[in-house]
Amino acid sequence: VGPDYIIGPGDQFTLTLWGTTEGIYALQVTNEGKVTLPKVGVISVAGVRFSELEKTLKRHLSKYYANFNLSVAMGGLKTVTIYVVGEVAKPGSYSLSSLTTVYGALFAAGGPTKQGTLRTIQVLRSGKVIKTVDLYDFLLKGDRSQDIRLQNEDTVFVPLIGPIVGVAGMVYRPAIYELKGGETID
């Protein structure tokens, strides 16, 4: 995971201690967002960024131990529930890794159908559109800049396809293309 990954219920990590105290502890974040450490007790870690996790644990452990070092390694990651709806091959609710992105969710749902848009896929969070994704840059150039990480209970909505144009003959990519905005045949 990256430094901005947010720890939450279901995440697992290994805490390794060495120095005046030693040990390797496999910890899982409870549904309440807490882990239990020997001698220290219960520590709340939900909402902590991975980059801050070592500091948070060290602060609590320092109350009981001196002259020690620690490291944290992520293990199993929590799952999130993502809804993929609209014009996709297999619409529904998916339990996916907390690292899943829009492209991963679309792949899990079998991708847009022939009636589904590739140009205006919406990511909804708490009922509001937070991102509109155009897959053409990804499909034609491999550009993943529009791909975003999804959060629990996000919805990926694939609307009906917009206006289309067929291009055939002596061109590099003869196909049926979906127009977006003010695009013309040119």
pLDDT tens digits, one per residue of 135-181 = 999 998 999 999 999 999 999 999 999 999 999 999 988 999 999 88
Q: pLDDT at position 76, please?
A: 87
Distance of CA 39 to the CA centre of its chain: 34
Query: What confidence score (pLDDT) does residue 3 get?
Result: 87
pTM: 0.77
| Residue ranges in the chain whose pLDDT is less than 70 | none
Number of H helices, E strands in the chain: 3, 12
Of 18, 113, 118, 103, which Cα lies nearest the Cα of 69? 18
DSSP H or E run through 95? strand 92-97
Q: Return the pLDDT at 4.
A: 87
Question: What pLDDT was estimated at residue 42?
Answer: 94
